[in-house]
Structure 1
Amino acid sequence: MSFVTVRNVFQSYGSRPILERVNLDVAEGEFVSIVGASGCGKSTFLRLLLAEEQPSRGEIRVAGNPPAVEPGPERGVVFQRYSVFPHMSVKQNIVAGESLSRRWGRYWGAEKRAAEKRAEATLERVGLGHVADAYPAALSGGMQQRLAIAQALTARPRVLLLDEPFGALDPGTRLSMHDFLTELRREAPMTVFMVTHDLEEGFKLGDRVIVFDKTRWDPQDPNLHGATITYDFDARDGGIPFQRLEEATHVRHTL
């Protein structure tokens, strides 16, 4: 059964088409990696899923609900740039992420102390325990991005949107954050969409890998047509694709 339903979505900025005729069904708890050439609309699609933008045509529904008109707490996001609260300490950022689902958005008394203990454990898991009381401005770029990812994950949104979340991390930290994301998904299943330029990362983390590309191309006007989903691979069981294996192998080597 489809949890996230994308139907006949088009998106244009003025007279410039970005996406055209995008259709997708995603089951609850699936992890969808999104790949494709730069400028093909991957981040635009993520903003549409977040409801930060509205499509020019078509609709996106989550859990059968009417299309959202603005972002809500059920959709978490980590952008390429660091998206944390600069006026809060590192630990307070984690507590804030977890408390977003509460009616007043805050913890009090014993619940607050328990949330702070959980935040300390989370920070240890992502290698930030030693800076729990520091403020984001005192952290390196990679540390800030680790904090942003941890904050979004601890909020446990129903839909998590990741836009190149590991791009600023060194290889060792990137692998540890892969493990952290995988562990948290086991604890609290989320439906995840992740934009990445790293095919290996996309197939490693994703249940599915979808490719955005233009099916029509005018050499006289390269911006005349928008992109759509051209391939949809099953990344489980060694990456056996929904479409023909020969096509999957070709795309993996040519993207």
Structure 2
Amino acid sequence: MDNPIIEMKQVWKEYGDQVVLEKLNLSVQAGEFVSIVGASGCGKTTLLSMLLGTESPSRGALLLDGEPMPAEPSASRGIVFQKYSVFPHLNALENVMLGGEFAASVLFGRAFGKQRKNLKEKALEMLQAVGLSDAAQRYPSELSGGMQQRLAIAQALIKQPRILLLDEPFGALDPGIRKDMHSLIRELWKKRGLTVFMITHDLSEGFSLGSRVWVLDKPRIDPQQPERYGAQIVYDIGLNTGQKLPESIQNLLDKTVQDV
């Protein structure tokens, strides 16, 4: 087996006396799709922030390719949030080009000449990949919610990241549009060989998209000091491996599917 792209060794995250995450010992191979589920407030977004580099572990080691995770975001990791992260004053093409523009010149925020031409061609290819080639000149206010989220995905992928982080990316979309977005993200994951981490509150979404599911919860609770213990990965479920789901998870999944 190849060396893991991500490793967590006894990772804890604390804010003062509040323990958010504790005792995380995990490894992820390149190309896996990890769905992260759990109750609100259990630390899912904090975990994703550590993978992005905007938060650092309080204790333990978080490694990217065997080296300490860089303490700031980089081109190797792209992120898509639930709330559309596109810029309203830029059209779709300009939104996708923006990251490359700033990389070309922090001072001017703009590429020039051949560099700009190549960036534009790359952005148009990315818009085509997410099904927005006909909307290149349209502004976000002229796009539907699903189209805006496709645009946000194009923004995240323009720098060709190896890791894609998704923070409830489809939570604000109607069911029909969500289904289309599921097909899109599954296709991009496989075609581009991405390693994906996705937070979702929708169990059926997590299990249908992921190749692996992490369930975050607090196995230890002190009612008098709820901040004393943090969440852990209480289940690490490899899908399509024949691994039987825990009965509690299967019951929740069955109920979720019935309610759809």
Q: How would you bin the TM-score normalised by the shorter chain?
A: 0.7 to 0.9
Trace 1:9-48 onto structure 2 (pairs within 5 A). Answer: 9-48=11-50
Q: Partner letter of residue 37 of structure 1?
A: A
Displacement after TM superposition at 1:179 (Å):
1.2
> 1:94 corresponds to which residue?
96
> 1:61 corresponds to which residue?
63
1:151 aligns with 2:173: no
Displacement after TM superposition at 1:139 (Å):
3.8
> 2:219 corresponds to which residue?
215
Within the candidate set 110, 117, 128, 1:121 is matched to 128
> 1:164 corresponds to which residue?
168
What does the per-residue CA deviation read over 1:6-49, in whole Å, with 9 as the maximum and x for residues that have no partner?
A: 11111112211100111110001111100111111011000011
Q: Partner letter of residue 251 of structure 2?
A: H
Question: 1:73·1:100 contact (CA, 8 Å) conserved in 2?
Answer: no
Displacement after TM superposition at 1:192 (Å):
0.7
1:111 aligns with 2:109: no
Within the candidate set 178, 182, 188, 2:182 is matched to 178
Partner Cα distance (1:113, 1:82) in 2: 22
1:204 aligns with 2:211: no
Partner Cα distance (1:180, 1:133) in 2: 21
CA change 1:35–1:167 in 2 (3 A) is same
Q: 3-state SS of the aligned residue for 1:2?
A: coil
Q: 3-state SS of the aligned residue for 2:48?
A: helix
Question: 1:36·1:211 contact (CA, 8 Å) conserved in 2?
Answer: yes
Partner Cα distance (1:220, 1:50) in 2: 33
TM norm structure 1: 0.85
Question: 1:9·1:20 contact (CA, 8 Å) conserved in 2?
Answer: yes
Partner Cα distance (2:75, 2:101) in 1: 7
Question: 1:91·1:119 contact (CA, 8 Å) conserved in 2?
Answer: no
Question: 1:10·1:22 contact (CA, 8 Å) conserved in 2?
Answer: yes
> 1:231 corresponds to which residue?
235
Q: Partner letter of residue 114 of structure 1?
A: E
Q: Partner letter of residue 188 of structure 1?
A: R
Q: 3-state SS of the aligned residue for 1:76?
A: strand
What does the per-residue CA deviation read over 1:72-93, in whole Å, with 9 as the maximum and x for residues that have no partner?
A: 1111111222222344211222
Partner Cα distance (2:147, 2:120) in 1: 24
Deviates more, 1:187-196 or 1:111-120: 111-120
Displacement after TM superposition at 1:101 (Å):
11
- Structure 2: unaligned runs, 5 residues or longer: 254-260
Cα RMSD (Å): 2.5
Displacement after TM superposition at 1:178 (Å):
1.2
Q: Partner letter of residue 65 of structure 2?
A: A
Deviates more, 1:28-37 or 1:144-153: 144-153
Question: 2:189·2:196 contact (CA, 8 Å) conserved in 1?
Answer: no
Displacement after TM superposition at 1:112 (Å):
4.1
CA change 1:61–1:249 in 2 (3 A) is same
CA change 1:101–1:175 in 2 (3 A) is farther
Question: 1:145·1:168 contact (CA, 8 Å) conserved in 2?
Answer: no
Partner Cα distance (1:171, 1:155) in 2: 29
CA change 1:229–1:101 in 2 (3 A) is farther
Aligned-pair identity in percent equals 47
Displacement after TM superposition at 1:102 (Å):
7.2
